[in-house]
Amino acid sequence: MKPPSQRRLEHPLAGLFPAPRMKRLRPWAAAAVVLVASFLGYLLHAHPFKVAGATDGRTAQLVRVRNNLMELGTAAESYFQQHPDQGIVRGDELQRWLPGVLELKSVAGERYDSLVFSRDWQKVAVVLADGTAIEWKRR
C-alpha cells in the first residue's frame, strides 16, 4: 500500500461509473454551439413584455397602450436610479426628462401626463376614453 502522500484521491463511485473519453469537437458542432449561444444572448436582451403583431384594431390599441405603460414604468425605474433624492415623478416629467425617447401619444383617449410614480410603485393604470382600464404591473 502506498503512503497517503502518494495515493490518488478518487471519488467513491469512480469504479462504478467510468469517465467518458473526450472526443474532438467537430468544427460544425463548434459553430452550432456559437449560434445557439448567440441566439440565447439575443433572447436575454429582447424586452420580454413588449407585445407586437396584434392585427385587430381594438386589440392593437390595447397592446399599444400597455406598451406605453411599460415604457413609462421602465423610464420611472431609470429616473429613480439616477435621482435617488426624488420620491415621486409624474408622467409629463418623465417625457420631459427623456425628450425624443419617450414621446407617448394618446392611442384611445388616455392621458399619460397625469400618472404619478412613487419610488415603491407596483402597478400603473390608465383609463381609456370608453372607460376601459388597462394596467401594467412592475416585474
- CA 89 → CA 11, 29, 49, 111, 115, distances in Å? 59, 51, 23, 15, 9
DSSP letter for 58, please.
H
Closest to 127 in 3D by CA, of 103, 106, 105: 106
Amino acid at 73: G
- Work out the angle at residue 12's Cα, subtended by the Cα atoms of residues 7 and 13, and round it to the nearest 5 degrees: 130
pTM for this structure? 0.56
Give pLDDT, residue 72: 84
CB-count burial class (<10 Å; 0-12, 13-18, 19+) for 79:
middle
pLDDT digits (tens, 9 = 90+) for 87-122: 888 888 887 877 766 777 787 888 877 888 888 888
Note the helical H segments in the chain.
27-45, 57-82, 91-97
Question: Does position 128 have pLDDT exceeding 80, yes or no?
Answer: yes
Question: Does position 83 have pLDDT exceeding 70, yes or no?
Answer: yes
